[in-house]
Amino acid sequence: MERFELEQSVDERLIDLIDAGVFVIDRELRIRGWNAFMVSHSGRGRREVMGRSIFDVFPELPDDWLRKKIARVFALGSPSFTSWEQRPWVFRLPHNRPITGGVDCMQQNCRFIPLKDGQGAVGHVLVCVFDVTDAAVLQRRLAETVSALEVERSEQQVLIGRLAEAQEQLVQSEKLAAIGQLAAGVAHEINNPIGFVTSNVRSLERYLEGLLALVELYDRHADLLPPEVCEAIARRKAGIDYDFLAEDAGGLVAESRDGLERVKRIVSDLRDFSRVGETEWQWADVHGCLDSTLNVVMNEIKYKAEVVKDYGDLPHIECMPFQLNQVFLNLMVNAAQAIDGRGRITLRTRVEGDAVTVQVTDTGGGMSPEVIKRIFDPFFTTKPVGKGTGLGLSVTHSIVARHRGHISVVSSPGEGTTFTVRLPRQQSAQACP
């Protein structure tokens, strides 16, 4: 099939030198031009694609969306643009840059340009595909770095607060109460704004539905409007990419609603985690304690390890859940800090006779026999100065002992560590809080 003839002022050889994909399609969406960039990156030669539908060459294309987009370019005679931030890629093309490891295809900005004949009619559309993979990956990494720095700063502030509390309150019960009051206060303060933001998002969703329904009603009666008004409306819609906006708005609101639900669950777990002044024995679900504690400390763990849950079928046990939360928190945080780089933390629960066991296993560097002998001693720590108080495992040992339980550790250098907490299902009448 005969190739599309570009305007005489444009040298096709120069277009072949452009470091971007350039090709031409007609009104039937058949390919009429194909530059060297497209040959190189698609692996399809000019003769192979000439005259074929763009959907035959790229079967993964979003059919309905792309047809509407190109139809608007033909109808309005004005260019259209799609950013990688809206759609990371439109045409699946491989990339070959070493910086972009982990990205499966070229990230793109795409521009659709109308080509007009001497009478001003749009006969073809020029499609330009710009490879922005490196910039996209760097921008994502920059955002991740900024987020990580914010997390690190937040963690440092929390650590400073904990160190100050540890210096002032060495008595375990007072320390637990102080942490509980702080967590409960934060949960309460967060819960109020989350409530009205959630309500506002629900209202916004209803408003959007009403507005979109109104626009749809206008569209159904567009033939009653003067042609110049219809043309102005069409230009305005194209300028704001109305079809994409209408399609994407509902998804954005739904994602926001889901995010708020996640925050509510975290706040609820934080509130359960911080039951202030708990001194009464009660029946509780060990898995619930583990999960709520994991939600509280996940911000510290998720950058270091994958968490694997191997839960057995456990009965409720008689305990003080807030204090067990403190035990699980210390073991999880220690496991994450023992891992150099990226690793795995396994939470395993089982029933053993009249007791339940909770194991926290990490793939960290492990400990020597000399260190294992001292890990439950108050103020003993292997962390650098300013990184630990040496009270975490000592407090953990005291809480487990108060529950008439037992805590043990198995570890060796280079082979990770497993802490096992054994707790009775029921406390005796002599148990003291």
Written as one letter, the residue type at 99 is I
Give 302's DSSP letter: T
Averaged pLDDT for residues 207-230: 80
* CB-CB contact of 108 with 95 (8 Å): no
Q: Classify domain 282-424 by CATH number.
A: 3.30.565.10
Which comes out higher in pLDDT, residue 99 or 324?
324
Decide yes or no: CATH 3.40.50.12140 for domain 12-137. no
Averaged pLDDT for residues 338-346: 89
Averaged pLDDT for residues 157-172: 59
Cα Rg for the chain, rounded, in angstroms?
31
Q: How far apart are CA 262 and CA 217, in angstroms?
A: 36
Instruction: Determine if residue 228 is left, alpha or beta; phi over 0 gives left, psi from -120 to 50 gives alpha, anything else beta.
Output: alpha
Task: Give me the helices (H) in 285-412, please.
Answer: 286-301, 321-338, 369-372, 392-402
The two structure tokens encoding residue 214: 């109104």
Please report which confidence band the pLDDT of residue 171 belongs to, taking 50, 70 and 90 as the band edges: very low
Is 340's pLDDT higher than 90?
A: no
* CB-CB contact of 433 with 280 (8 Å): yes
Q: Look at residue 286 in the predicted model and tell me its pLDDT.
A: 92
Please report which confidence band the pLDDT of residue 361 belongs to, taking 50, 70 and 90 as the band edges: very high
Is 333's pLDDT higher than 60?
A: yes
How many CB atoms lie under 10 A from the CB of residue 127?
23
Averaged pLDDT for residues 269-294: 74
Burial 86-115 (b: 16+ CB within 10 A, else e): eebbbbebebeeeebeebeebbbbbebbbb
Average pLDDT score over the chain: 79
Burial 357-390 (b: 16+ CB within 10 A, else e): bbbbbbbbebbeeeebeebbeeeebeeeeeebbb
What percentage of the chain reaches a pLDDT higher than 90? Answer: 20
